[in-house]
Structure 1
């Protein structure tokens, strides 16, 4: 008589539809598969299509381990709607997405018969579908614990007169201090435009946070204890399991939304150690043509090799193609421009000297894990608080300072790159931060122990 085998525990993972959300939850999924889980990874249909397209050069769906199954649900938008990810569009469309997701997710849960939904805190509208069907919920916050902690503090901040109950700041240019971070008016619901839009976004963010409070049996985040000691002390219910990564060899797919140009790795191999400026601003940031030119010419002015990620939609459309072609010809012996790249492999490469970034949390953690000094150029919401971590708390980077016209000049780009790369104290602090992250992930480390705690819970 054969021995009965126990089926692998099966969980459903649901990220918010954006690169900085899909990647950490895909990394978490890989780690769960390593612990014997089956994962059904749920993207909205447009994001699902982008992930499949980006996987195609590396073998398509077969590049993923057998334990991860990719599925999709409708996002609730009409067929002709513009689905390009922008801060304002994402916030403004979150409510339509809600109605399209809940019913489809409910049906998917019934079909897969999972006991656990591991979902992004920013997808709080999908809690009801899980709770209705008796499915237990674990929440993942892909940003800094301080950001979630600030959201937990919202009722107190309203009582203290920072903003009203619609999320509107009561005083211009107001700041407050949370966990030694200087937080500006950029809160997670802050968008450009009329107050009505901000109110809608505020209600959504608040409802997501409240849903995590009420229904999630555990809230984990992509951070580590030594990175945010004050935040974790004040909010012990937020559990750090990061920095997340798919595998030590950096070979497993992490849910990219654009095809990676792997040729940049061969280019990096030809560069001297600690010589290259790596420049990438994530999937949201947009530069107008004037700022784009200043950045381009600033990189050229450094006289250093640089690897610059320029998405197809990185500018607002008024940049002269002839100018950009001429620029690329001029720097061809020094700089390389790609539309997307395997960022974690790039940051782990010995040729990279510093990371110029938008301060998105996933990119920040990837840089920290590789001991990068940073040049910070935040774009919106939590990225300004992340800059405060890098520059004021960790002291592992500098920030650009736009002039009165809002422009960062090419001269400033060149000068600050030189300062970041030339500061040995900053480099040493970056290495210490890297070592602290590795210790948290190592045997007996707090992130590793916390991840084991999550695994044990999901096995119940």
Structure 2
């Protein structure tokens, strides 16, 4: 085993929910003596650096985590929520630039990249690792079930559940195996992707990714068998290393796209134990004016304290200045609104009673790791699958129902908040699951040992 520090190139997909866990993973590697080249697109790099403020030096220059950017091939005003256009452009432009980056750091800095850790959505980078003789690792920032479902696409077509374009043939629920929760064909992640149409190109891209991944020696996932045992049985080569959680003592979390507003923590300190509704929908969820109004007035109707994360771009009907407009009748006197929150600190705070969430995987894993009951409001992609686990398999949350106009009404929000907070069974299950998850990352825990196994493999 070499004593020379390993240099690992980490390549996340350019979205907050992918950058987050891969940055936490990188920090774990730094703690074990590795150096990290964290590669993001130029568009994302500008967001991260802006949010870091005076901490910029910690992710640039000669730091153990060196943030490096390469263009995604799109213009500055391109719609990066058009996933087909974005991923097509990255595939056409980034492989050659990544290969050049690896060669440049060798020639200029004398640094040899020992390993590439690629996001499942950036699997093309694994072919560069093979071409250049570098160790290759697949990283799944989503649920293990996401990979299991993706790898099952040919079988789903063969069984007549979907057609070759990914469209559901049957309206019935299905299970990949008896140990999987039943899934709704209308909620398959590729049929719920914003900014693109589901179709043969997405299916073909997914199958191609799986073909590249299949020959990769090591697969890592930010999850645990306690959450989704059937998925880890279905994909046995997948090593769980979750939950990957941020250090709550950090002033500003590395890799955030927005500056965190820490004033919400002092506000939470003033609230009664288990009294606050935490409302956060991640980095991409959009609401129109009608739904945004119902949400605001629904929170007010609960007559409970709430902490609401409202990005300035979260209302799809916002004016040209990109400012969110709250309804005139909204007083909000019992709540606090911030643009971005230090979520791990918030969810671990004793004042939090429940989590109204879009069910992105990071939010899911963070909420579960803090024993917080969920109210699920998925927006797109795999969030619907995550809701299935939260509500139906783990039974630690409830979903919202839409009315005849397709809206989640203020009355529905109030009713479900009251229901989840009065359900001792949900709260009890959430606390039990929290302890199981945290045991995984303690000394001797399964995820802790898997991470040690990876470090050993890396240094061989």
TM-score normalised by structure 2 residue count: 0.92
Q: Which residue of 1 aligns with 2:326?
A: 324
Cα distance, 1:262 vs. partner?
1.2
User: For residues 55 and 132 of structure 2, what CA distance do their matches in structure 1 show?
Assistant: 36
1:55-104: per-residue Cα shift (whole Å, max 9, x none)?
A: 11x53233789311100011011243233xx3xx1234211121121111
1:435/1:114 Cα in 2 relative to 1: closer, same or farther (>3 Å)? same
Cα distance, 1:47 vs. partner?
0.5
Number of equivalences? 447
- Residue 108 (structure 2) pairs with residue 109 (structure 1): no
- Residue 41 (structure 2) pairs with residue 44 (structure 1): yes
Cα distance, 1:267 vs. partner?
0.9
User: For residues 329 and 262 of structure 2, what CA distance do their matches in structure 1 show?
Assistant: 22
User: For residues 435 and 24 of structure 1, what CA distance do their matches in structure 2 show?
Assistant: 20
- Residue 9 (structure 2) pairs with residue 12 (structure 1): yes
* Unmatched segments (≥5 aa) in structure 1: none
User: For residues 325 and 70 of structure 2, what CA distance do their matches in structure 1 show?
Assistant: 41
User: For residues 35 and 324 of structure 2, what CA distance do their matches in structure 1 show?
Assistant: 50
Cα distance, 1:127 vs. partner?
2.3
Cα distance, 1:407 vs. partner?
0.5
Q: Which residue of 2 aligns with 1:229?
A: 229
Q: Which residue of 1 aligns with 2:142?
A: 143
1:344-396: per-residue Cα shift (whole Å, max 9, x none)?
A: 11111111111000011110000011111000001112111111111111111
Q: Which residue of 2 aligns with 1:359?
A: 359
Q: Tell me the SS of whatever aligns to 1:227.
A: coil
1:130/1:243 Cα in 2 relative to 1: closer, same or farther (>3 Å)? same
Cα distance, 1:254 vs. partner?
3.5
User: For residues 382 and 154 of structure 2, what CA distance do their matches in structure 1 show?
Assistant: 19
User: For residues 119 and 155 of structure 1, what CA distance do their matches in structure 2 show?
Assistant: 23
Cα distance, 1:318 vs. partner?
4.7
Cα distance, 1:255 vs. partner?
0.8
User: For residues 364 and 427 of structure 1, what CA distance do their matches in structure 2 show?
Assistant: 15
Alignment of 1:31-430 (within 5 A): 31-56=28-53, 59-62=55-58, 66-83=63-80, 86=81, 89-112=82-105, 113-171=112-170, 173-178=171-176, 179-184=179-184, 185-191=186-192, 198-214=199-215, 216-247=216-247, 249-251=249-251, 253-318=253-318, 324=326, 326=328, 330-331=331-332, 333-430=333-430
8 Å CA contact 2:189–2:385 kept in 1: the answer is: no
1:242-264: per-residue Cα shift (whole Å, max 9, x none)?
A: 00024364556241111111111
Alignment of 1:428-447 (within 5 A): 428-447=428-447
Q: Tell me the SS of whatever aligns to 1:59.
A: helix
1:311-337: per-residue Cα shift (whole Å, max 9, x none)?
A: 111111257979617456x11x31111
8 Å CA contact 1:225–1:440 kept in 2: the answer is: no
TM-score normalised by structure 1 residue count: 0.92
Q: Tell me the SS of whatever aligns to 1:168.
A: coil
User: For residues 69 and 165 of structure 1, what CA distance do their matches in structure 2 show?
Assistant: 42
User: For residues 322 and 454 of structure 1, what CA distance do their matches in structure 2 show?
Assistant: 45
1:27-80: per-residue Cα shift (whole Å, max 9, x none)?
A: 000000111100010000000110101111x53233789311100011011243
1:38/1:195 Cα in 2 relative to 1: closer, same or farther (>3 Å)? closer
User: For residues 413 and 211 of structure 2, what CA distance do their matches in structure 1 show?
Assistant: 41
8 Å CA contact 1:14–1:43 kept in 2: the answer is: yes
Cα distance, 1:266 vs. partner?
1.2
User: For residues 303 and 191 of structure 1, what CA distance do their matches in structure 2 show?
Assistant: 33
User: For residues 196 and 349 of structure 2, what CA distance do their matches in structure 1 show?
Assistant: 45
CA RMSD of aligned residues (A): 2.2
Cα distance, 1:177 vs. partner?
1.7
